[in-house]
Amino acid sequence: MENLKKTIDTAAGKMIAKAATEGIETVWDRFEAQQPQCGFGLTGLCCRHCNQGPCRIDPFGDGPQYGVCGADADLIVARNLLRQVAAGAAAHVDHAYEAVETLAAAAGGSAAYSVRDRDKLLAVAGKLGIETENKSETDIAKEIVGIARSDFGNHSGSPIKWLVATAPEERVATWSKLGVLPRNPDREIREALHQTTMGMDADPVNLILATVKQGLVDGYAGLQLGTDIQDILFGIPSPVVAEANLGVLREDHVNIVVHGHEPMLSEKIVEWAHKLSGEAQAVGAQGIQLAGVCCTGNEILMRQGVDMASNFLAQELAIITGAVDAMVVDVQCIMPSLARVAACYHTKIFTTSPIVKMPGAEHIDFTLDEADRKAEEIVRKAIENYRRRDRSRVDIPDVKTKMMAGFSVEAIVAALAKLDAGNPLKPLVDNIANGSILGAVGTVGCNNVKVAQDSFHVNMVKELVKNNILVVTTGCSAQALAKAGLMTPEATEKYAGDTLKAVLTAVGNAAGIGAPLPPVLHMGSCVDNSRIGDLLTALAGYLKVSIKDLPVAASAPEHQHEKALSIGTWAVSLGLLTHLGIVPQLVGGKKVTEILTGDTAESLLGGRFYVETDPIKAAHGLIEHIKSKRKALGI
């Protein structure tokens, strides 16, 4: 594989070359070794749900068309998809549950955590219908925890409260009519596993509806619940300036990279890194440099302005700089190869979750009770490890870009309020209506080794902003776009279409930046996709239309994780055209594919999946969709 086919990130490219020279295997080597990948798996036509299998359906029709149990291609694909989406939802719900537990700890008098954002506390209490007058923050927090827990303990048929409190009524009615309103996140995930075992549901359509339900579990008991609670605990993000890419690592600093998804530990690491920077000097370093990978990085970037090291595909490459003294991981997207790569250097990998352990890594069991002690221990060990760094093997690529982040809905509204304090959404809506902003696309999700790292995100988004589409972004997509320099005022000058540029300049000037807003707004981590949901809900409410009627679309250009499918399913359920840049493992089921990408999904939900593997074509597919929505709105 040529390097250009591996990444468009020059820092990553340099580290890939370094890895090759040093004989260290990376994700790209393993991908190449995996070629060819099994076509049955690629198309979702392999079933391993029972021990009579594995069964495979020939997608070209020459071979068997039924599995041993009698399942056909569509049934196998639909079952596999439901399991994938349920697994993705499980990840987000488990994450959100940790956040709830943390808020419970804070309300219970934990020394480590507290309610940092009263505004969010009140806002969440408000939407949940909690009386707040004359109540202490702790009491309100306890009530919020109570409602969250009651969703997990809901044994009735009523829908998840968090969903009903958050989603637009029109959507709730639509989902109710389809019978897909989830009751209790844990119960729904359990049911999905049951539904897909041998000898259960044989109706692909029923399985797709169950998949939609999992999308809603993900959206409201995962993303929304997680972000709401995390904002209460750690603050609503507001615009910050930071730097992105491996060049943020410093040769003369103790470098600690945090990687994973939850902010509960990484927030503590940030605290302790500040507290112990003096000790770093004691071992000969100038201080402690923190940098994030994946969404835990996004969480502390959004709220604390911590620099970003890179995104998913470059996690090994951070270690290959030779300059990382500790990589602290929590949950999700952590490559099992990290310990092997780290073993080639002095780098220590600290696993912290009881469900994420890794041979060759040091496990420090992170608990809410001992949050400070564990975070301190990790930072101290990182500092200590700085001594072991082999300077001859350090090569930090001199590549980093400036970036703006922190665009929570609240921050966006605040910026717009500078233009119209009484009616902050009006300037945005007016500019959409007059066509200065043609529409908006949310780009989310991962890197995937099947495409050159970041290339799809960056090429598609450049094409979108050129066509006056405002881009909001989260996750590894945000990190890709940040590294490509798309989160700077200069990017607006360079890449945005003229009318979009004018709007962003006006908002930027009014907000006191003295320069345009970036054409791509970083809205946070993967769970922060709920922020995009909130923004759409607000816009739809303002315009008194359904989300499905807005001139907007979603895209997961380089998705790899099951979570991305769950988020995508939620997005489709919200009524969004949802683009996938990599063919999902379901196209062997013709009917299932047709339903998800065609009129059926659109007529039932207003949204559908859209698979296009060329970034420029995808951009234009999204633009066409936005234009058709504009036309329907009469703008």
Partner 1 sequence: MRQILVKTERCLGCKSCELACSAIHSGSKDFLAAVLGGERSVRRVTVETNRENTVNIPVQCRQCREPKCVSACMTGAMYLDEATGLVLNREEKCVGCWMCVMVCPYGVIVPNEEEKKAVKCDQCLSGGHDPACVKACPTGAIEFIEISQFDKKRKQEFLTKFIAGEEA
- Interface residues with partner 1 (CB under 8 A) are 36, 38-40, 42-43, 56, 58-63, 583, 587-588, 590, 593, 611
Report in angstroms how near the CB of residue 40 gets to partner 1 at its nearest.
Answer: 7
Q: Tokens at residue 349, please?
A: 């990998």
In this complex, which beta carbon is closest to partner 1, that of residue 35 or of residue 156? 35
Instruction: Quote the CA–CA distance of 86 and 90 in Å, as a whole number.
Output: 6
> Do residues 400 and 244 make contact, with C-beta atoms less than 8 angstroms apart?
yes
Minimum distance of partner 1 from residue 78's CB (angstroms) = 16
In terms of C-beta density within 10 A (0-12 exposed, 13-18 middle, 19 or more buried), how is residue 99 classed? buried
Give 38 or 632: the residue with its C-beta nearer to partner 1: 38
Minimum Å gap between C-beta 557 and partner 1 is 16
CB of 86 to partner 1, least distance (A): 24
Q: Which is nearer to partner 1, 315 or 597 (CB)?
A: 597
Half-sphere exposure of 507 (CA within 13 A, CB side): 28
Q: Residue 335 is encoded by which pair of tokens?
A: 């490559």
Estimate to the nearest angstrom the gap between the alpha carbon of 578 and the chain centroid. 15
The answer to whether 300 and 531 are in contact (CB under 8 A) is no
Residue (301 or 586) nearer to partner 1, CB: 586
Cβ-proximal residues to 62 (8 Å cutoff; 6+ apart), any chain: none
Distance, CA of 345 to CA of 392 (rounded, Å): 11
Please say which residue, 159 or 568, places its beta carbon nearer to partner 1: 568
User: Which are the contacts of 452, defined by CB distance < 8 A and separation ≥ 6?
Assistant: 4, 5, 6, 7, 8
SS3 392: helix
Element (H, E) at 255: strand 254-259
Least distance in angstroms from the C-beta of 63 to partner 1: 7
Single out the residue of 21, 32, 12, 34 nearest to residue 316, CA to CA.
12
Strands (E), 516-551: 520-524
Separation of alpha carbons 94 and 129, rounded Å: 24
Residues 6+ apart with CB under 8 A from 449: 27, 28, 31, 313, 560
Residue 66 or 199: the one with the smaller Cβ distance to partner 1 is: 66
Q: Nearer Cβ to partner 1, position 68 or 364?
A: 68
Whichever of 54 and 541 has its CB closer to partner 1, that residue is 54
Nearer to partner 1, 568 or 606 (CB): 568
Q: Closer CB to partner 1, residue 254 or residue 582?
A: 582
Which CB sits closer to partner 1, 59 or 439? 59
H or E element: which one contains 288? strand 288-293
Q: Give residue 350's Cα distance to chain centre.
A: 22
CB of 43 to partner 1, least distance (A): 5
What's the min distance (Å) between Cβ of 184 and partner 1? 37
CA atoms within 13 A on the CB side of 16: 21
- Listed in sequence order, the DSSP H helices in 258-328 are 263-275, 277-282, 294-304, 315-320
Q: CB of residue 42 vs partner 1: minimum separation in angstroms?
A: 6
The candidate with the shortest Cα–Cα distance to 221, out of 186, 264, 170, is 186
Least separation in angstroms between residue 452's CB and partner 1 is 18
Shortest spacing between CB 581 and partner 1, in angstroms: 13
d(CA 602, CA 599): 5
Q: Is the dihedral of CA 91, 260, 442, 79 positive or negative?
A: negative
Contact 323, 247 (CB under 8 A): no
In angstroms, give the least distance from the CB of 139 to partner 1.
55
Using the minimum distance from each CB to partner 1, give the nearer residue, 60 or 391. 60
Q: Least distance to partner 1 from the beta carbon of 476, Å?
A: 23
Place of tokens 């696993």: 351
What are the structure tokens assigned to 612, written together?
A: 């296009």
